[in-house]
Structure 1
């Protein structure tokens, strides 16, 4: 997966970058879960066997196990992601575009890249690619969806149709038991959708009226839920299921200041000081009269006394981007914002102050682009220490009168150098290169020793051996 880095300035947050590349068009390379460093080199890649399979929402989280009275779990860093197939026209037309097909799941991997948990949805819903969040309670909050048969003629759709219901589910990670659920169909009016029910004719009669795409848990038992196709964000009482207030959409409880309105939004998050953040897709397939706007990261301040939303920070790209779907705005520990541009192949980092439309280079610290039409539903920068349970890889071949040894270790974040051993017999090897600095994902090391047997040892910053590869024979 060749990533082109177009900007990399001082001041970025620590940690590598997490994306899950796929394409709705012509995939370049393989789909899968990819960690890159800031230079664009891969740190870890878990490819999938078919471009019909996708990963999404790939990121670092903290995994807590509920100890049932044995004290608080301090938690451990893990990798999490959704895996499954999406209804992507023209290959799939049985569901609305972007909806998850049956058979998906969520994975939790530890720092050694071992599977800890596989999580599934309940009562006939399909695990949804849009959100998978671990809580300190030892649970997972996620979105799930399924078509619910419905007469859509009151909304202008087919009589024997269905509505794609989205449901918030919370599952105990120890037992797999469903602890909580909240259905969009039970609480939202499909008539408020910005997507016509007549669109169901192109998706086997299924209408994607709501399209929930994010959940965030806030103080006081509140959930912040984004419904893309309603152009609305809802603050919900988790206990009662009641909608406390709605921002945007046809029944907004808030009016909007300049540049504060949004369309087809993603990734709504609580922020300190009565603020929320989101990715405003802002464009494409807008009803008559709605002004198209560039996609951008957006932070709103909510004035509850006057019920008014004001844009306090925006994050635009140069060149301007118009992303019909997907995207996220991540708040980093140093105050920066990391933007995944969704259906555009970029991801970027900005200083906290942001910028304005037409000034996309202002406060830009980092920018990179996936190849071809590849995209990632979200993109994150997270701190991560990977210590693979499996050994490094080695290969060797003749080059003139020398030998070139290739060393790599998929997922290792602590390898700083390589040591090379060689000998005439697999059981009789000695050190021929004591310290070769790591140079990217795969390091090529030249030695005059003919071998023909070689082995590499991964060294950390102190020169200590982390792990040893298998012995390989040199090829000509």
Structure 2
């Protein structure tokens, strides 16, 4: 995620900073290790009585932030669900051969947000499938994806949605921590296929749950990154005496009990003197130096961990049992040499791949030391010859037009051999055939490409298969339009609705079918009927015509409808 010096670049148009009193490192707002089980209604509603949610209010900013843009051509608006205003992406390429599944993003902005922040599923056409908005632009989601949840009571896991929720330190509103660091009060969410909250997960050791990583394991545990500022004399590194280092821990907790099972502390294993982030940057984050910036952890089949430290330009292969670093790839003390185009800078999302390979998103650009050649951002897969300690390029994935992403991004392996790239601070996500391309050939093997509006970005982007069956009912509204009745139908999160049935009548307790089957068209379907109502109801149908859900009864409104609100 962003560091202060990068976030002040023109890409995010941050012009002002303001020092604030540093929060004490141990002053957590949350009880470390808590695991809460609860249920929630539809994404746009408030929780039911007794539900215990977390990170529902942002960490207090020191400056006001611009209000989000909630109307216009870059924002979706719906008659049947007026509380939802997700951003509208522009699909610029959609060719045959893409992998199955929908696209998972968590849009936010360090400038003016277009639409609402939150967790968003889009289909290939760019239409929303499910959207869970957040109440403030100072709240963000990150690492939103599908995982498998094993609770110890099932032989097979169940598919779930997971994400981080909290406040990112984004200047100028937040300068008490390095840009992109998690503020106090964050947590992780696990939702089931009915969009009910299964678990919320927090960190131990007074750390703040970190947006960069949250992974469920077959052992019924969660592996994640947790961060906090640790007070430290930075004069040996050229910084202030009363400074601090933004430290990171890899933590693993048991989901059933919340008990901490494993931790790996960056300060115990990494030397801040090897950082590529100048200690002078601490002057703009209240004396806190982001020396390491751990931004991903991946567990291999043999129990090894692959840990990426962005500001060290290094990836570490760690023996989990002992915590010992087996070898370092990149950085000032690299155990590997690099073949042509195999080196990387400011990297994200390091993952094990079969056959002694690793993948990452190589940001490769911006704020590089003198003499270091700037690179175009790209997805990168490396071959590692462990015996000779040499890394060579296996495949690369470049964009057209070329992109320079100072921060964020990911490279996802898909089940059909394709690769899905989230471009981080550049507002795109793309899919490529597995063979990839080379710099200057960004259109080669490009199958899918979409652009986010305005200055919106998503820390990562994923393509996942997902079947959502909401426990809450469909939404509907009815409007009078030119002597006809127009019924608007939607069901936020339903992936199996293929058509709608419309019922109407003069008595809300005695309705009859007036439209037997109207094909679903995008998130919201507008259905015109001559039925005067004034009472209407819709039923969601699957491909076989079975009723999946029934809306509440609504009353016809005489207000003129706006047809393009459904687009």
TM-score range, shorter chain: over 0.9
Q: CA deviation at 1:80?
A: 0.1
Q: Which runs of 5+ in 2 are unaligned?
A: 1-86, 559-567
Alignment match, 1:167: 249
Alignment match, 2:107: 21
Task: Work out whether 1:49 is the aligned partner of 2:135.
Answer: yes
Given that residues 171 and 179 in structure 1 are in contact (C-alpha distance below 8 angstroms), is that contact kept between their aligned partners in structure 2?
Answer: yes
Task: Work out whether 1:282 is the aligned partner of 2:368.
Answer: no
Given that residues 8 and 367 in structure 1 are in contact (C-alpha distance below 8 angstroms), is that contact kept between their aligned partners in structure 2?
Answer: yes
Q: CA deviation at 1:198?
A: 1.4
Task: Work out whether 1:32 is the aligned partner of 2:118.
Answer: yes
1:260 aligned residue (322, 342, 348): 342
Task: Work out whether 1:117 is the aligned partner of 2:199.
Answer: yes
Runs of 4+ in 1 over 6 A off after TM superposition: none
Counterparts of 1:171 and 1:82 in 2: how far apart (Å)? 15
Counterparts of 1:317-466 in structure 2 under 5 Å? 317-466=399-548
Counterparts of 1:305 and 1:225 in 2: how far apart (Å)? 20
1:214 aligned residue (271, 292, 296): 296
What secondary structure is seen at the aligned counterpart in 1 of 2:479? strand
Q: Which runs of 5+ in 1 are unaligned?
A: none
Task: Work out whether 1:102 is the aligned partner of 2:184.
Answer: yes
Q: CA deviation at 1:221?
A: 1.4
What secondary structure is seen at the aligned counterpart in 2 of 1:185? helix
1:234 aligned residue (316, 334, 340): 316
Counterparts of 1:203 and 1:46 in 2: how far apart (Å)? 31
Q: Which moved more, 1:335-344 or 1:219-228?
A: 219-228
Counterparts of 1:220 and 1:442 in 2: how far apart (Å)? 47
Instruction: Output one character per residue of 1:223-262: Cα deviation in whole Å (capped at 9) or x when no partner.
Output: 0000000000000000000000000000000000011000
Q: CA deviation at 1:300?
A: 0.0
TM-score (norm 2): 0.83
Q: CA deviation at 1:123?
A: 1.3
What secondary structure is seen at the aligned counterpart in 2 of 1:378? coil
Alignment match, 1:78: 160
Alignment match, 1:61: 147
Given that residues 394 and 455 in structure 1 are in contact (C-alpha distance below 8 angstroms), is that contact kept between their aligned partners in structure 2?
Answer: yes
Counterparts of 2:138 and 2:149 in 1: how far apart (Å)? 29
Q: CA deviation at 1:197?
A: 1.1
Q: CA deviation at 1:66?
A: 2.5
Counterparts of 2:386 and 2:457 in 1: how far apart (Å)? 37
Given that residues 86 and 100 in structure 1 are in contact (C-alpha distance below 8 angstroms), is that contact kept between their aligned partners in structure 2?
Answer: yes
Alignment match, 1:9: 95
Counterparts of 2:288 and 2:155 in 1: how far apart (Å)? 43
Counterparts of 1:26 and 1:284 in 2: how far apart (Å)? 23
Q: CA deviation at 1:219?
A: 2.4
Alignment match, 2:16: none
Counterparts of 2:248 and 2:205 in 1: how far apart (Å)? 13
Q: Over the residues paired in the alignment, what is the CA RMSD in angstroms?
A: 0.6
Given that residues 349 and 365 in structure 1 are in contact (C-alpha distance below 8 angstroms), is that contact kept between their aligned partners in structure 2?
Answer: yes
Given that residues 65 and 73 in structure 1 are in contact (C-alpha distance below 8 angstroms), is that contact kept between their aligned partners in structure 2?
Answer: no
Task: Work out whether 1:223 is the aligned partner of 2:305.
Answer: yes
Instruction: Output one character per residue of 1:301-336: Cα deviation in whole Å (capped at 9) or x when no partner.
Output: 001121100011000000110000000000000000
2:229 aligned residue (133, 144, 147): 147
Alignment match, 2:352: 270
